[in-house]
Amino acid sequence: MPNIKIFSGSSHQDLSQKIADRLGLELGKVVTKKFSNQETCVEIGESVRGEDVYIVQSGCGEINDNIMELLIMINACKIASASRVTAVIPCFPYARQDKKDKSRAPISAKLVANMLSVAGTDHIITMDLHASQIQGFFDIPVDNLYAEPAVLKWIRENISEWRNCTIVSPDAGGAKRVTSIADRLNVDFALIHKERKKANEVDRMVLVGDVKDRVAILVDDMADTCGTICHAADKLLSAGATKVYAILTHGIFSGPAISRINNACFEAVVVTNTIPQEDKMKHCSKIQVIDISMILAEAIRRTHNGESVSYLFSHVPL
């Protein structure tokens, strides 16, 4: 494809390389380093004048450093006369801080949106936003892609009893996500109502739906410390589920997450590669990864060619 450049930030270079390979392109030359005072320095190693630039940087790892690196890369390309700069952010940072839920709380997702716009971003491509209304924080186009096509493919190919399964949301907020998947598979769905004492700590869970003598598949957009999904798995087993799987778009897995998964009753915990999982997989054999580089690559190709990206919401050539 002519007049297109893809650059990778330092957060997830493996995914960036897979996207470039699927598009038949080479990753652009960029050098990122830190000065002794920890300021980030970025050097774009080739001309971007008049080019359609895509910068891949996921919200993971050293999140704050990676956000700053992304902003500097966007600005560097913009002032170097790139015709358009698109930030490809597979896992959007600070997405859980999307509303003012108590006095004097910040809406940090809106702050990140403002910073991306001010840096010179013309377009955002992301995946499975924690809250769809985050798209409204931007005054520029935002394509929120879904991992659903890849999830459906994995379920059909890897769970032999999928026709006798129940798709379960671990909270009420994910009801729309699980009903969509359940409808596509023509199976039942259920949800778990949870009450929290405080952040990252669940107090009580109530199952709404039937999983008795069925395979239960927990589906959520992300898992951080994994307290919720591990509690949910125990709840499903006690309610009569024969097996429990968890499928998550963003596997953050911080703090005690890995030990909790190892001690939980999951057959498998399946995540996409919006976040690198190689190190986590070394310590947990239950973690399996779905590659979503094709979805992102196809979104880039369609954006570059001026085609609709909404096709990807239900179809993708995996």
Q: Answer whether 68's CB lies under 8 Å from 40's CB.
A: yes
State if pTM tops 0.75: yes
DSSP SS3 for 278: helix
pLDDT at 201 over 70: no
Which residue has better confidence, 308 or 7?
7
57-85: pLDDT as tens digits = 999 989 999 999 999 999 999 999 999 99
CA distance 169 to 72: 38
User: At 313, is the pLDDT very low, low, confident or very high (cuts 50, 70, 90)?
Assistant: low
CA distance 257 to 224: 7
Residues 6+ away with beta carbon under 8 Å from 178? 167, 168, 169, 189, 191, 219
| Dihedrals phi, psi of 11, to nearest 5 degrees | -75, -35
The encoded tokens of residue 202 equal: 């669940």
pLDDT at 314 over 60: no
pLDDT at 202 over 60: no
| Rounded mean pLDDT, 281-305 | 95
Between the alpha carbon of residue 234 and those of residues 18, 111, 198, 237, 289, the distances in Å are 36, 37, 20, 5, 23
Which pLDDT score, from 0 to 100, does residue 317 have?
Answer: 40
- H/E stretch holding 181 reads helix 175-185
Residues 6+ away with beta carbon under 8 Å from 81? 48, 49, 50
Which pLDDT score, from 0 to 100, does residue 196 have?
Answer: 61
131-175: pLDDT as tens digits = 888 999 999 999 999 999 999 999 999 999 999 999 999 888 888
Q: Answer whether 194's CB lies under 8 Å from 171's CB.
A: yes
Angle subtended by helix axes 108-119 and 63-79, to nearest 10: 30
- Which stretches within 24-82 are classed as H helix? 63-79
Residue type, 70: L
| Rounded mean pLDDT, 87-93 | 97
| Rounded mean pLDDT, 116-134 | 94
